[in-house]
Amino acid sequence: MIVISDTSPINYLILIECVDVLPELYGRVVIPEGVFEELQRQSTPEVVREWIAAIPSWLEVRRAHVSAAPELEALGIGERQAICLAQELKAAAIIIDEERGRKEARRRGLSVIGLLGVLRDAAERDLVQLEPALSRLQKTNFRVSDKLIESLLLREPERKNSKSSP
């Protein structure tokens, strides 16, 4: 399975020490060159820059052929390239959080996963403990409504109970 990621999900997964769930969940993750460059910017947290400098074997950087479609112009370079690369590689999904990017990816028929979806899926496979991961995420500058966090956490005991049932 090939999954394409935008910058933000990888950045925050590194910051909350959960990035290793990506190969466990999806196998191979591909990022476009624009995302690679964004993860190396001076304004990017040092821990993220250090991580991307020693790229893991499960992460691949690819050149994206970005179309000149006007609907992509409002998006950042990483989002534009990630969407185009996901289409080009016929990826199983794209991991993207920015709302305009998510809408455009869906409009193009791509399966969209957000950072919270990655964490939920990782918790379902017992790769992370959801509550501490979300708590660490809330200590970053990631913007998410408290309501959404609460709804994920409310479902967690239900999920754990259904796993322990025969």
Domain residue extents for the chain: 2-114, 117-164
Q: Give me the count of residues in the chain.
A: 166
Question: Is residue 79 over pLDDT 90?
Answer: yes
Return the SS3 of 111.
coil
Region 122-126: mean pLDDT is 94
Provide the 10 A C-beta neighbour count for residue 154: 9
Q: Please state the pTM of the whole predicted model.
A: 0.90
pLDDT value of residue 66: 85
Residues 50/39, Cβ–Cβ less than 8 Å: no
Mean pLDDT in residue range 64-71: 84
The CATH number assigned to the domain with range 2-114 reads 3.40.50.1010
- Tell me, what's the pLDDT at 77? 92
**pLDDT score at 159:** 56
CA distances from 74 to 68, 90, 98, 103 (A): 12, 23, 11, 12
The C-alpha angle 96, 99, 104, rounded to 5 degrees, equals 80
- In which band, very low, low, confident or very high, does the pLDDT at 160 lie, cut at 50, 70 and 90? low
